[in-house]
Amino acid sequence: MFKNVFGSGFLVRTAHVILTWVITLILFLHDTELRKQEETGQLLQPVLFVLLVLVSVLLYFAVSLMDPGFILSDDSDLQFMLGVTEEQQDMIPPTTKSLRQRRCGHCLLQQPMRSKHCQTCQHCVRRYDHHCPWIENCVGERNHRWFVLYLAVQLLVLLWGLHIAWTGFSYAPTWQLWLRTNGMLLAVAVLVALLSLIVLLLLGSHLYLVSLNITTWEFMSRHRISYLKHCGADENPFDRGSLHNLWGFFCVWGTVVWEQVYFREGSDQV
């Protein structure tokens, strides 16, 4: 399930963890509301904040080290395409339209629909969304929902941290003295505010695309994707309605044969 921890992303992951806990430590060392509550024995909010930071770090590692849906052999792809068991294969409705698979020009494996070869990971990924340098891993079928959950938790941590930093600024009669007193906390607040904006934009864009049942790769490159380039600008063959799309993304576990959705009965081939 997990890749080698000491792979190419070891330094990125280490830097992320160190930065997270350094910022947390600075928020506790300065005269913020967390430190005041800790000194007065009111430990509920400090403990909750530390636990939330810990959850965000654990989610980061889960998304970063998880197999995003690598395609490793033609046999497993065929099993994925037609169902996990023969009994499930019989449950898939027949279609008169062909379910054509193309062979990857890099790893020479057959690609199910919505998969793409990642040049960084050197593997094809099912329902490929994008390769994220922040987690040093692809975002695909198996870890996409966990990636969105991680962004939501991370945003909550960052906004809470920004509020905590704001409570720690102390008064000084001059700007020079104020910067000397609050310089470290100001740097943390600016960094956290910038990261909050980035995570907010990422989370918003992913939720929007999920509600449409389209991936980042498909949204950005639909004019070059064989199964989408003939569709109209507002046409998405995978869209089943926003609520159904969100429910299927977050609540339905298991594989989806996207060829069956694309060639669903009663629809024309696009």
> Which residues are marked as active site?
132
Burial annotation 138-162 (CB, 10 A radius, 16+ → b, else e): bbbbbbbbbbbbbbbbbbebbebbb
Residue that has been written with the tokens 């199910």 in this structure: 112
Backbone angles phi, psi at 221, to 5 degrees: -125, 25
Judge contact between 179 and 131, C-beta under 8 A.
Answer: no
Judge contact between 210 and 219, C-beta under 8 A.
Answer: no
Structure tokens at 9: 């992303």
Residue that has been written with the tokens 């380039």 in this structure: 229
Burial of 34 (0-12, 13-18, 19+ CB in 10 A): buried
